[in-house]
Chains A and B, each alone.
Chain A
Amino acid sequence: GAVVSQHPSRVICKSGTSVKIECRSLDFQATTMFWYRQFPKQSLMLMATSNEGSKATYEQGVEKDKFLINHASLTLSTLTVTSAHPEDSSFYICSAPRGGINEQFFGPGTRLTVL
């Protein structure tokens, strides 16, 4: 089946630094990818829709200048958490739909800890 990978799987950084998370579709092309965040014991919250070759679409309340999304190729979307603070510590997950298949494929997630 289709596979979506994320890198890194886990990252710890100091407050004020920026962190980039990669989401790759390994065996299919994805013109659209989705980014979610999940706090402990909570559900997934959709942050934004990443569109290949164009600007991302952010959900209400998500700061686009803080969470920079780039979808530069058909197999790669990146999420950069800029000037990270402890409250940005969370589990970040991406997903990608595959054409002709009625499901989205999720990455394994990236756990971000900001000290």
Chain B
Amino acid sequence: DAKTTQPPSMDCAEGRAANLPCNHSTISGNEYVYWYRQIHSQGPQYIIHGLKNNETNEMASLIITEDRKSSTLILPHATLRDTAVYYCIGLYGGATNKLIFGTGTLLAVQP
């Protein structure tokens, strides 16, 4: 699975968009980009995933660059409850395979 690099922390004002970057320059062609988040002292929660195309769901949008070497998770209107550690993970073969978590980005949403 590709090594991913994320900034250790970011701040965002409540109500504004939060843009979380992830570098995955060694990602291979059939490797998905998955995003999970972990609110303090809870189990992680799936957010979104993608392969090549940009994706959007009720939680977030995922923008993947054309060369697939980086991606950005966008929370369109961050709330205080979005304060969490966000993990970007490269994954072969889909959700049945093991997830290897990096250090993630601690997003602090400020009132």
Contacts and interface: CB of A to CB of B under 8 A. Distances in A.
A104 B41 contact: no
Contacts of B44: 44, 93, 95, 106
B102 A46 contact: no
A102 interface: yes
- Secondary structure type dominating chain A contacts: strand
A102 B98 CA distance: 12
Contacts of A43: 85, 87, 101-104
Nearest to A4: B43
Given A34-B98, A34-B99, A103 B49 contact: yes
A46 B100 contact: yes
Interface in B1-58: 38, 41-46, 49
A89 interface: no
Contacts of B43: 4, 93, 95, 106-109
Contact of B95 (A101, A107, A111): A101
B83 to A, nearest CB: 15
Most chain B CB neighbours (cut-off 10 Å) among A45, A95, A98 = A95
Nearest to A109: B43
B40 to A, nearest CB: 11
Contacts of B41: 91, 109, 111
Contacts of A95: 43-44, 99
B76 interface: no
Interface of A: 4, 32, 34, 36, 43-46, 49, 91, 93, 95, 97-99, 101-109, 111
